Chain A
Amino acid sequence: MTVSQARFREAVLDPAAAVPPGLQDGQRAPAGNRFSVYRNNVIVSLTEALQTAFPLVAKLVGGDRFSRLAAVYVREHPPKSPLMMHYGVDFPAFLEGFAPLQHIGYLPDCARLDLLIRQSYHAADAPPVPAERLQCAPEDLVTLRLSLAPAVRILRSPWPVHDIWRMNTQEGAPKPRPVAQDVMIARPGFDPAPWLLPPGGACWLDCLGRGLTLGEAHEAALAETADFDLAAVLTLALQSGALTDPTTKDG
């Protein structure tokens, strides 16, 4: 009696499935609950991976409820790669369709924030552009092209995701305001963090990421947001190490 890996996999992921015959203990008796060790290892290890990967969602949903949610997700969406650092890419979309949590409308975007922070953590290193690179004549500045560091991610949300993140990670943070928020995740050094972007900031960064000049990015941001504050977003981007010089080659 052979036990194929397809059969084994099916029984591991389905707690109601019978233990495949052909699996036994040392006395040749049916394996019984010994098979549960594998079931448990798979579900618990994937649940823990999800919990580590989505700390904000885990906090918002709460321990037991998160475990139940994770048990559904990991069975429906097992990892597609042995790189657990990438697990959960479709978790935000899954949450959008998950009926029991539909009332927490901002949850999928919180999952996106968690996901982008993790992507930022593992992104390639790049030296930030030094502030003096921007100390040039205005006519040179508008034609300057800067890149976004590989660890930069932008999230534009109809929800106050940055406020929600602050309230759940920083003591004494104010209650979220009922506003849409754009967030930039950047990684000065090795620890990524989200920064709240001023209006038009996401558009400006997105333009730089697409290879436009500072001047072109500024015009696009102004077109989107009439009172776009270039100095504010530029300071933020420089301080957070979000900008790199595309002409500098990293060792």
Chain B
Amino acid sequence: MLDTASRFSDLPAAPGVGYKAQHFDAICKDAGPVAWIEVHAENYMGAGGRPLAQLRALSERFALSIHGVGLSIGGEEPLDPDHLARLQHLLKWSQPASFSEHLAWSTHGAEFLNDLLPLPYTNDTLSRVANHIDEVQERLQRPMLLENPSSYLAFAESTWSETDFLAELVRRTGCGLLLDVNNVFISATNLGLSAQAYLDAFPLHAVGEIHVGGHDAQTDDHGAPLLIDSHGKPVIDPVWALLDRVLARGGPRPVLVEWDTDVPDWSVLRAEAERAATALALVT
């Protein structure tokens, strides 16, 4: 299939970071190899104040990725038209190089549960999610990227593998994918699968952005490892190795370092971005 990655996002094939407000001064003074930043859409949907002022200033210096965490694209119910309108407004004024969301649900009834909850991979889920992606892309008049989840459990009812499910969504909707390599490592460990086999089966031609991040380790009831997607630590070596594998097979892509809890000083996050730059240099 033709490599169409460039049309999924306009982000540069360079390191980016998940933006944290406390890094504003430092990142403006010394961005290091960081060429783009990613923000959570919902944090910039207020009427004004510092968040919007910072985003306006940053968008003049950096390419911007708007990453939604609240659309509930896997929800059983219709998408929230108010939230779609807010997204449309944010994307209109901030003109990001990329918009992405998650293969997950978070809203049920009128309640937002503030977590990315898992989906069974069935034909029903597939049609529903595809319809929702169609609706989003139609409304926003741009392709979106859909991110693979980190899984802590599986559904007995699933009839699709996650990679086939994502590939079919790409085929049906023309959306791109956000490949979170840390999520792949977490899901593979948690479900006893091979991360390398997952990546080999992943439709890399549709990947418009890659995520790496840190995670925590626990154990389940049987003493098996249970990794938690906490984004509160450095990226571990096996995840960097998976990134190398993806880049070697798929070529350079925008690579984002996520760090959302126990956020360190800018220099620590910048060093992670430098490591991503090194990985990209190997394939550029």
Contacts and interface: CB of A to CB of B under 8 A. Distances in A.
Interface of A: 1-6, 8-9, 12-13, 22-29, 31-35, 37-38, 41-42, 45-46, 49, 78-85, 121-125, 150-151, 187, 190-191
Contacts of B154: 23-26
Contacts of A2: 120, 157
Interface in B67-117: 69-72, 75-76, 80, 83, 86, 105-115, 117
Given A26-B191, A123-B48, A79 B111 contact: yes
Contacts of A83: 42, 45-46, 70, 86
Interface stretch (B49-57, B131-139, B140-148, B264-272): B49-57
A12 B106 CA distance: 12
Contact of A42 (B49, B113, B192): B113
Given A1-B156, A2-B157, A125-B49, A9 B69 contact: no
Contacts of A125: 48-49, 52-53
Contacts of A1: 156-157
B220 A33 contact: yes
Interface of B: 42-43, 45-53, 69-72, 75-76, 80, 83, 86, 105-115, 117-118, 120, 152-157, 190-193, 220-222, 224, 226, 228
B190 A34 contact: yes
A5 B76 contact: yes
Contacts of A80: 110-112
Contacts, number: 145
20 contacts: A1-B156, A3-B120, A4-B76, A9-B111, A22-B155, A24-B155, A26-B192, A26-B193, A32-B221, A45-B114, A78-B112, A78-B113, A80-B111, A82-B42, A83-B70, A122-B49, A123-B46, A123-B49, A124-B48, A151-B48
Contacts of B86: 83
Contact of A29 (B46, B51, B112, B222): B222
Nearest to B157: A2
A186 to B, nearest CB: 13
B106 to A, nearest CB: 7
Contacts of B83: 81-82
Top 5 nearest A-B pairs (CB, nearest first) are A82-B70, A122-B46, A26-B192, A26-B191, A190-B50
Given A22-B157, A79-B112, A150-B48, 8 more contacts: A12-B115, A12-B117, A13-B113, A24-B153, A42-B113, A125-B52, A151-B48, A190-B53
Contacts of A4: 76
Residue among B69, B86, B108, B113 with max Cβ neighbours from chain A (10 Å): B113
B115 A45 contact: yes
A31 B153 contact: yes
A151 B47 CA distance: 10
A187 B49 contact: yes
Nearest to A78: B111
A91 to B, nearest CB: 15
A82 B106 contact: yes
A68 to B, nearest CB: 19
